[in-house]
Amino acid sequence: MTRTLGQTAQLIRSKNAGPFWLTIDVFFATDADYQAARQSPLTDRHHLAETYAVNPDTIEIYTIDTLRAIKISFPRPVPQGSPEDTDQHAGQQYVPLLCIPLDRSNRTLPPGISRSVTAGAHTDQKVRRRPRDWPG
C-alpha cells in the first residue's frame, strides 16, 4: 500500500512569507519518513509547479536534515489582501500535497491534484491524529 504525505508527516503547515510569497513547512517524526519525502514528488519543482500553477524556476525548496523538515516557498498567485485573494493567510495551501505518494515504487502524482488551489483560514494544521487529551 502506498503511503502518502498526509499519512506520514508529523506536521504540515502553510503560511504567508510576506504579501507576495507563501511557504509550506513539512516535518517528519522519523529519519526514514523524512528520507522518503526527500525522494518523492514533494521535492520535485516540476510537480510542485504543476500543482500550484507557478513557474518551476520560482520555487525554492530547502531540506533541513537536523529538523527532518522540508520547506517549500513560491510566489503567491495574487498579493495577500487583494480582492482576488481567496486564502488571506495561505493557511490551506498545503492541502494539495497531502496525497503525494512517498513510496519509491509510485512517484507519480495521483489524478485530481494538479493545478489545485485551495481556500481556507486555518494555519499550523496537524495532519496526523490529534492528541487523546483534546476535546471532541
Strand, helix or coil for residue 33: helix
Sign of CA dihedral 62, 125, 6, 8: positive
How do residues 6-39 score in pLDDT, each as one tens digit?
999 999 999 999 999 999 999 999 999 999 999 9
Give the Cα separation of 88 and 121 in Å (integer): 7
Which residues is 69 bridged to in the sheet?
Answer: 27, 64
Q: Domain-by-domain residue ranges, the chain?
A: 5-97
Of 37, 39, 71, 75, the C-alpha closest to 56 is 75
**pLDDT attached to residue 113:** 39
pTM of the model: 0.74
87-110, pLDDT tens digit by residue?
Answer: 888 888 999 999 999 875 544 544
**Which stretch of DSSP H or E encloses residue 8?**
helix 5-8
Q: What grid cell was written down for 101?
A: 505518494
The confidence score (pLDDT) of residue 85 equals 86
Q: What is the mean pLDDT of residues 68-86?
A: 92
Where does the pLDDT of residue 59 fall: very low under 50, low under 70, confident under 90, or very high at 90 and above?
very high
- Please state, in angstroms and rounded to a whole number, the distance separating the CA atoms of residues 136 and 125: 16
Question: Residue 130 gets which letter from DSSP?
Answer: P
Bridge partner residues of 103 (DSSP) = none
